[in-house]
């Protein structure tokens, strides 16, 4: 006897409340095994494949690609148990009973006792029948695809309507197409084997815009005189929130990574009374030390050390001297919580937006170890493979905005942390060195801090120590 079980979007952890469907990995009629990934979703933290805790035949899917679902919403239904061809009379004594082993992945809200299922696909002639409503079996149905009503029949999509998978690999290309209402099935890809690239979507967007502009211009020219008096009402429309918006204005949903960044920065500005101090530092000696490290040969040779890794090591040394800045504020208890370990976040710009991977236990690492971990996390960020755990739990953030070619900034603190060090570009500038004017490698350092955890004296002391280490790297030898 088969049962239809409903698989809901599980709690993916880290306080996430919704996820967007990026790509379905199974079709209606597919046979899935326990723990087999069935859908790829994008959360505010990362893109993840969601495994199904049940094994059986997929009977329904809920939500198209691009749909945002809250945690607990139905994802799909699976018919588990005896296949349709089973007579249930027990005459086939040679057949082995189905395994009752459970899922190895413990998803929030699901147990581990789902029965296993064989990997196979439903034969096409079963799906080609003109019937659009087909009962799975005469067995009782456990859960309905519609939440408030018991399921009697399961809707099965007509296989003749299916057009096959869209030849797109990049989730970014899919998102760009969704945001601009481009039907990927109508595009001819210019990539290998017809793969649809971003350039193909960009071309389609431009073509659609040109067509829309030409279509809108014709009636305006014909009816220009009669509509002249009503022009202001046509040109500007009141948005729902009362803000005037142009009729042709583009509206971009704040969701995914962009939505998470917006929420976090807004909360930081709302809750944290921040202040910023900055200082210029002569980084000539630091650059010379780095060059010497990377040029070493023989037993002293090792992996290349980046400037960011050296600055991160300087930050951990400074936080050991000024632990007030490695803390957070418990607003409900009205307490400052000083943290014993330094989990150093660093800002990384990716195609999906700004992310802050976290180097765990940075206080226990040297510059070489920190650099290796930064390189590893950066690569994961670029490929969109960072897990939510790798993007949370930071206690202090290092923001190298110098890579964008700017000198200074007043960064917003990464809530709920208490401080962030910003680093501008290192540029040759006139500088008084040993009483004489010289061209030196100069960098601007800025510290934004939560004024609740410390006063300006502590923040200034922290920043001055960082600048001293940049100007005289030998200062670090005291703490090594």
Q: Structure tokens of 148?
A: 């408030």
**How far, in Å, CA of 173 to CA of 290, rounded?**
39
**How far, in Å, CA of 174 to CA of 178, rounded?**
6
19 burial (CB, 10 Å; 0-12 / 13-18 / 19+) is buried
Count Cβ atoms below 10 Å from residue 299 Cβ, excluding itself: 6
Determine if the peptide bond prior to 83 is cis (ω within 30°): no
Q: Structure tokens of 103?
A: 């899922």
**How far, in Å, CA of 27 to CA of 49, rounded?**
15
* Contacting residues for 228 by C-beta, under 8 A, at least 6 apart: none
Q: Structure tokens of 147?
A: 């939440």
Q: Structure tokens of 469?
A: 């280490």
Q: Structure tokens of 182?
A: 């481009």
* Alpha helices in 397-478, H assignment, sequence order: 456-471
With residue 363 as reference, give the H or E element that holds it.
none
Calculate the CA dihedral of residues 319, 323, 325, 327 and round it to 10 degrees.
120
Active-site positions read: 451, 455
């Amino acid at each position: 006897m088969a049962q239809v079980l409903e698989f809901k979007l599980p709690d993916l952890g880290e306080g996430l409340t919704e996820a967007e469907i990026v790509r379905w990995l199974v079709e209606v009629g597919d046979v899935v095994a326990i723990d087999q990934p069935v859908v790829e979703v994008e959360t505010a933290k990362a893109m993840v494949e969601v495994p199904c805790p049940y094994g059986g035949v997929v009977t329904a899917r809920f939500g198209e690609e691009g749909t945002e679902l809250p945690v607990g919403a139905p994802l799909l239904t699976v018919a588990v148990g005896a296949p349709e061809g089973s007579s249930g009379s027990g005459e086939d004594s040679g057949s082995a009973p189905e395994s009752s082993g459970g899922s190895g992945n413990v998803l929030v809200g699901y147990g581990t006792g789902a029965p296993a299922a064989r990997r196979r696909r439903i034969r096409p002639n079963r799906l080609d029948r003109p019937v659009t409503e087909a009962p799975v079996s005469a067995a009782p149905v456990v859960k309905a695809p519609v939440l408030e009503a018991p399921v009697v029949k399961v809707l099965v999509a007509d296989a003749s309507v299916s057009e096959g998978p869209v030849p797109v690999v990049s989730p970014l290309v899919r998102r760009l197409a969704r945001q601009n209402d481009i039907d990927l099935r109508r595009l001819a890809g210019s990539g290998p084997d017809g793969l649809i690239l971003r350039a193909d979507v960009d071309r389609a967007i431009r073509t659609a815009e040109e067509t829309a502009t030409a279509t809108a211009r014709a009636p305006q020219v014909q009816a220009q005189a009669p509509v002249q008096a009503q022009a202001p009402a046509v040109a500007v429309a009141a948005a729902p929130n009362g803000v005037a918006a142009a009729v042709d204005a583009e509206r971009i949903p704040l969701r995914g990574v962009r939505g998470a960044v917006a929420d976090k920065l807004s909360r930081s500005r709302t809750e944290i009374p921040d202040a910023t101090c900055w200082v210029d530092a002569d980084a000539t000696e630091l650059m010379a030390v780095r060059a010497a490290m990377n040029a070493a040969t023989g037993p002293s040779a090792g992996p290349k050390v980046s400037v960011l890794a050296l600055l991160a090591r300087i930050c951990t040394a400074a936080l050991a001297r000024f632990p007030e800045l490695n803390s957070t504020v418990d607003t409900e208890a009205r307490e400052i919580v000083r943290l014993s370990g330094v989990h150093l976040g660093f800002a990384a710009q990716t195609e999906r937006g700004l992310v802050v991977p976290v180097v765990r236990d940075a206080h226990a690492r040297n510059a070489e170890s920190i650099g290796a971990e930064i390189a590893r996390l950066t690569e994961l960020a670029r490929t969109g493979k960072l897990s939510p755990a790798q993007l949370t739990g930071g206690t202090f953030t290092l923001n190298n905005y110098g890579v964008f070619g700017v000198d200074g900034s007043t960064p917003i603190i990464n809530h709920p942390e208490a401080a962030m060090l910003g680093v501008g570009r290192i540029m040759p500038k006139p500088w008084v060195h040993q009483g004489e004017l010289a061209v030196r490698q100069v960098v601007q350092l800025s510290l934004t801090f939560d004024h609740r955890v410390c006063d300006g004296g502590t923040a200034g002391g922290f920043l001055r120590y960082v600048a001293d280490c940049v100007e005289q790297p030998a200062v670090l030898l005291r703490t090594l």
